[in-house]
Structure 1
Amino acid sequence: VRIVKAWQANDKIVAMTGDGVNDAPSLKQADIGIGMGITGTEVSKGASDMVLADDNFATIVEAVKQGRKVFSNIQKAILYLMSCNVGEVLTVFMMTMLGWDILEPVQLLWINLVTDTLPAIALGVEPVEDGIMDRKPRGKKSNFFSGGVASSIIYQGILEGVLVLGAYQFGLHVGPHINNPQLQHGDALTMAFLTLGLIQLFHAFNSKYIHQSIFRKHTFSNKWFNGAILIAAVIMASVELPFMTKLFDVTELDPIQWLVILCAGVLMILIVELVKLVQRSMGKR
Structure 2
Amino acid sequence: MPGDAPLTAVQLLWVNMIMDTLGALALATEPPNDNLMEKAPVGRTGKFITNVMWRNILGQSLYQFTVIWYLQSQGRYVFGLEGSEADTVLNTIIFNTFVFCQVFNEVSSREMEEINVLKGMSENSIFVGVLTGTVVFQFILVQFLGDFANTTLLTQLQWLICILFGFLGMPIAAMIKLISVEPHEEHDGYGKL
Q: Normalised by the shorter chain, which TM-score bucket?
A: 0.7 to 0.9
Three-state SS of the structure 1 residue aligned to 2:54 is helix
Question: Is 2:74 the counterpart of 1:189?
Answer: no
Question: Is 2:102 the counterpart of 1:200?
Answer: yes
Provide the residue aligned with 1:142 in structure 2.
46
Where does the alignment leave 5 or more consecutive residues of structure 2 unmatched?
Answer: 184-193
Q: How does 1:12-31 map to 2 (within 5 A)?
A: none
Q: 1:163 Cα deviation (Å)?
A: 1.8
Seen in structure 2, the aligned counterparts of structure 1 residues 153 and 283 have a Cα distance that, compared at 3 Å, is closer
The alignment's C-alpha RMSD in Å is 2.6
Seen in structure 2, the aligned counterparts of structure 1 residues 115 and 277 have a Cα distance that, compared at 3 Å, is same
Provide the residue aligned with 1:68 in structure 2.
none
Question: Is 2:121 the counterpart of 1:219?
Answer: yes
Provide the residue aligned with 2:155 in structure 1.
254
- % identical aligned pairs: 24
Q: 1:187 Cα deviation (Å)?
A: 1.2
Distance across 2 between alignment mates of 1:260 and 1:167: 11
Q: Which amino acid aligns with 1:272?
A: A
Q: How does 1:9-158 map to 2 (within 5 A)?
A: 99-135=3-39, 137-140=40-43, 141-158=45-62
Q: What TM-score, normalized to structure 2?
A: 0.80
Q: What TM-score, normalized to structure 1?
A: 0.57
Seen in structure 2, the aligned counterparts of structure 1 residues 234 and 263 have a Cα distance that, compared at 3 Å, is same
Alignment size in residue pairs: 182
Q: Which has the higher contact order (CA 8 A, sep 6+)?
A: 2
Provide the residue aligned with 1:38 in structure 2.
none
CA shift digits 1:239-276 (9 cap, x unpaired): 1233x111111111111111210111111111011111
Contact in 2 for aligned 1:169/1:188 (Cα 8 Å): no
Which of the two has higher C-alpha Rg?
1
Greater share of residues in strand:
1
Three-state SS of the structure 1 residue aligned to 2:29 is coil
Q: After TM superposition, what 4+ stretches of structure 1 lie above 3 angstroms from structure 2? A: 138-141, 167-171
Seen in structure 2, the aligned counterparts of structure 1 residues 247 and 139 have a Cα distance that, compared at 3 Å, is closer
